[in-house]
Amino acid sequence: MKPPEIFERLKQQVIGQDSTLRDVSVALYKHLIGHKTGNILMIGGSGTGKTTIMRAVEALLATDPAFAEYGTVVRINANLLADLASRGKQSSVVLEKLAHEAMSNHGEDMPTEKVVKCVAHGIVFVDEIDKIRSHVGDQPNVNGIIAQESLLTLMESETQGVGIPVKDADGNWTSVTTPIDTRGILFIAAGAFDELYDQVFDRVTQGGKNPPWKLVSKADGSIERQIVFQMGDNLEHSDLFAYGMAPQFLARFDSVVTLRNLSARDLVTIFKDVPDALLPIAQEYFEKYGVYLNVTDDALYYIADKAGENSRLGARALKEVFSKVIGQYEYDPWSAGKITQGEKGDELTVNLELAMEKLGG
């Protein structure tokens, strides 16, 4: 499976982040063929798809037995790493989690040498990496400093002892410390870096004095002026240093990729076409009432526009906005006299007028 194939598989679940997916696809391909690869740092606000990318990679690797040796994946929150690092346990816990995951995937009786191979070629996702910054405001973040140093040690070490679970002669579980070369582990870290956008925006626009504007047409036909600024086009390593990520820590990432804010078109696709999309789930719910739920295209884009107004929530805002539109009808579809007779029997149609009414448009 070459990078374009990996990309197409991941793209089925991840919308609007093609550039990031290409970087992830290349890194994943190199990892799967045993080629030395660099780690990836993903930066993106809530709802842009960081967790979805992680899940898509996990799902891809789980589908093919050929990936068994290189497909052991663990996800760890950086806050946990900070806590473990403060107690001197971070490296061992991460590697032991890989060992336990390998045995969970392939059976607890798998030979130790196979466990070692799975750990040595595993993938570690570190979520909320921005939470281990070295300072918060003007105050040093001691746990963050320790966590960065400990994770750096794990990422650049060659051999570490790992406790591998094995059964003794009596059939009881025990742990045997086994040396493992960790240079083949792929690390993918991700974080929202909430204050970084404002930090970069202020630097580029001289404190907001010269922001880039453009006129945008909304779903309801109105025109409004919006600031057009993609942080990824302007991000420099010095911005991450100032944010609190140590230079030597960042040096362990070959790629720093920024997930873009999702467009209204992206949000509409996420709303109706991806696995676990909100619209099909809602339609299935209303079918229990014997009602077909129809949402018109202009209403879809209006809902997406409203969700997109909160760019810090991204796709996660869709659920909140859509709930405001259909919440009353989920309780009682006939309560407002909106049910009509259509080709599919009783129909509830959410059109632009109804969406604007519910969302205060």
Q: Which of the pair, 123 or 1, is modelled with greater confidence?
A: 123
Average pLDDT, the chain: 88
* End position of a domain, from candidates 204, 226, 258: 258
The enclosing domain of 283 has a CATH number of 1.10.8.60
- Contact by Cβ (8 Å): 53, 3: no
| Overall number of domains in the chain | 2
Report the Cα–Cα distance between both ends of the chain, in Å, rounded: 48
* End position of a domain, from candidates 258, 285, 301: 258
Read off the amino acid at residue 132.
I
Residue 88 pLDDT more than 70?
no
The enclosing domain of 134 has a CATH number of 3.40.50.300
Instruction: State the Cα–Cα distance between residues 254 and 37, nearest whole angstrom.
Output: 8
Q: Are 88 and 112 contained in the same domain?
A: yes
Instruction: State the Cα–Cα distance between residues 267 and 322, nearest whole angstrom.
Output: 12
Residue with tokens 């080629």: 35
At 240, the pLDDT band (50, 70, 90 cuts) reads very high
Q: Are 278 and 250 contained in the same domain?
A: no
Q: Which of the pair, 61 or 64, is modelled with greater confidence?
A: 61
Most confident of 89-98, 168-177, 219-228, 334-343: 334-343
Q: Are 121 and 51 contained in the same domain?
A: yes
Nearest to 186 by CA among 118, 106, 115: 118
Instruction: State the Cα–Cα distance between residues 116 and 122, nearest whole angstrom.
Output: 10
Q: Are 244 and 114 contained in the same domain?
A: yes
Residue 214 pLDDT more than 80?
no
Q: Are 104 and 200 contained in the same domain?
A: yes
Residue 316 pLDDT more than 70?
yes
Can you read off the two tokens belonging to residue 278?
């909100």
Q: How much of the chain, in percent, has pLDDT values that exceed 70?
A: 92
Instruction: Give pLDDT, residue 158.
Output: 76
- pTM (predicted TM-score): 0.84
For 212-231, the DSSP string reads -EEEEE-TTS-EEEEE---G
Question: Domain range holding 147?
Answer: 3-258
